[in-house]
Amino acid sequence: MGTITLINNETGKSYEFDLIDCTRGPKAINFSKLFETTGIFSYDPGYGSTAGCESTISYIDGKKGELLYKGIPIEDLVMHYSFSDICKFLISGDLPKNEQESLEFDLELRHRGFLHEKLKRMFDVFPDRAHPMATLSALVSVLSTLYVDYKDEGDTDDYQTMARRIIGKIPTMVAYCYRNSVGAPFIQPDISKSYIENFLYMLRGYPHSRLKHTIYGEQEISELEIKALNKILILHADHGQNASTTTVRNVASTGVHPYAAISSGISALWGPVHGGANEKVLRQLNEIGDVKNVDKFIARAKDKNDSFRLMGFGHRVYKNYDPRAKVLKTLKDELDQQGIKMDSYLSDIAQKVEEVALSDDYFKERGLYPNVDFYSGIILTALKIPTELFTPIFVMGRMPGWCAQLIEHNKNPHARITRPRQVYLGK
């Protein structure tokens, strides 16, 4: 631990602040008493240089392009674990020690997949064209009216139950959002199917599963699809103090019901420059329409008088290739070879966009690389996931991260209500 000295050039006074050694990455200045000591506060719009909490959940090295969950690189986790294993890991701190433990946790999630009948009736109030992110945020908020038994006194068991329940229910909600929008009847969770298979079944299955029909035609759920979705969800499971996680923590800091905090996180994730980018990327690739138009769109992205941005490019922390995008790019090619065919029209345009952008000085100077949203949509399309469900799938993936962050926040006796200041420039 070192110190740093701040000198006020107006008064000549100097002040010393402690430096905090993070276990990885750069040091931080402890400015928590900055105002009390100096009478001056810090200004950092968008919080690019500010940490709002201590955390042990995920670590990003933006320069190297590295992401770790509890110290383990995501590349290792996607190779060896299922998404439900990662849920267990993030919320309880331990990976399953063997297949039995892995199955037990998956089974618990499956059993928690059923929705309260009253919650199902809520779907009637949403119009067919309601965006599923709005529906999901509302439904999760309603969960806080159905599960009022948590005590919120730092009770770890209550928060574990809260986490497992919502992780169990969110796939059902996502699948029902879609079925409701197309007027298809809901399918009850089938606990004989794994967490991921069950989601695909509830999304696609014909109401009578004995008939091997689906709403997409004669389509069985393959092991390869289950594996692919497991990987995609693992890659989205946690990502430091991003906008939606910060929202969850901020809202939780007021002491509100945990599902109300998560509902706010879903709303924050919906935004097109955050999780909503995966849907926008696909729409943008379609808008580009042909590899020969790529240069024109890249020129628009660089034009400061044009609000057009290249969706799926750039990141606040990564100034290198987003490691999640790297895994997804490889996964896309592997799936294509193994029989889940990518839409070559979309793939070719994406490939060209990446090539042109990565060799362009504008993108190089600003460290703008493909992020997690750039390739996920192409894979989800190949998995026959409707475009409007891309961001809800992100919600499914991020749910264990939000829950882990809530658990961490709740355990911290020094956590305070979030209350930033403002640089007042008004009358």
Complex with ligand ACO: residue 116 or 274, whichever CB lies closer:
274
| Cα Rg of the chain (Å, integer) | 23
DSSP for 244-274, please give it.
HHHHHHHHHTTT--HHHHHHHHHHHHHSTTT
Binders in 77-96 for ligand ACO, by CB under 6 A:
none
Asked if 275 touches ligand ACO (CB under 6 A), the answer is yes
Asked if 309 touches ligand ACO (CB under 6 A), the answer is yes
Q: Which of 236, 239, 257, 315 is catalytic?
A: 315
The correct pick among 213, 274, 319, 384 for binding ligand ACO (CB under 6 A) is: 274
Three-class secondary structure assignment of 270-287? HCCCCCCHHHHHHHHHHH
Residue 336 falls in the annotated catalytic set: no
Asked if 20 touches ligand ACO (CB under 6 A), the answer is no
Q: Determine the interface stretch with ligand ACO among 5-13, 155-163, 177-185, 314-322 (rule: CB under 6 A).
A: 314-322
Q: Which of 314, 296, 316 has the alpha carbon at shortest distance from 306?
A: 296
- Shortest Å distance, C-beta 68 to ligand ACO: 17
- Shortest Å distance, C-beta 315 to ligand ACO: 5
Residue 85 falls in the annotated catalytic set: no
Complex with ligand ACO: residue 228 or 310, whichever CB lies closer:
310
Total residues contacting ligand ACO by CB under 6 A comes to 20
Asked if 315 touches ligand ACO (CB under 6 A), the answer is yes
- Shortest Å distance, C-beta 273 to ligand ACO: 4
Half-sphere exposure of 162 (CA within 13 A, CB side): 29
Asked if 399 touches ligand ACO (CB under 6 A), the answer is no
Asked if 316 touches ligand ACO (CB under 6 A), the answer is yes
Show the site string, 278-307: x = touches ligand ACO by CB under 6 A, - = not.
-----------------------x------
Q: How far apart are CA 25 and CA 180, in angstroms?
A: 46
Greatest CA span in the chain, whole angstroms?
81
Binders in 231-250 for ligand ACO, by CB under 6 A:
242
Q: How would you class 243 by CB atoms within 10 Å of its CB: exposed for 0-12, middle for 13-18, buried for 19 or more?
A: middle
In the numeric block, which tokens belong to residue 102? 């892995």
Contact (Cβ atoms closer than 8 angstroms) between residue 3 and residue 17 = yes
Q: Determine the interface stretch with ligand ACO among 14-22, 123-131, 146-154, 309-317 (rule: CB under 6 A).
A: 309-317
Question: Computed from CA positions of residues 62, 66, 69, 74, in that sequence, does the dihedral angle turn out positive or negative?
Answer: positive
Complex with ligand ACO: residue 64 or 121, whichever CB lies closer:
64
Asked if 368 touches ligand ACO (CB under 6 A), the answer is yes
- Shortest Å distance, C-beta 108 to ligand ACO: 28
Determine how β-strand 66-69 pairs with β-strand 58-61: antiparallel
Distance of CA 164 to the CA centre of its chain: 17
Q: How far apart are CA 115 and CA 390, in angstroms?
A: 22
- Shortest Å distance, C-beta 372 to ligand ACO: 5
- Shortest Å distance, C-beta 274 to ligand ACO: 4
By annotation, the residues acting in catalysis are: 315, 373
Site residues for ligand ACO per CB under 6 A: 46, 242, 273-275, 277, 301, 309-316, 366, 368, 371-373
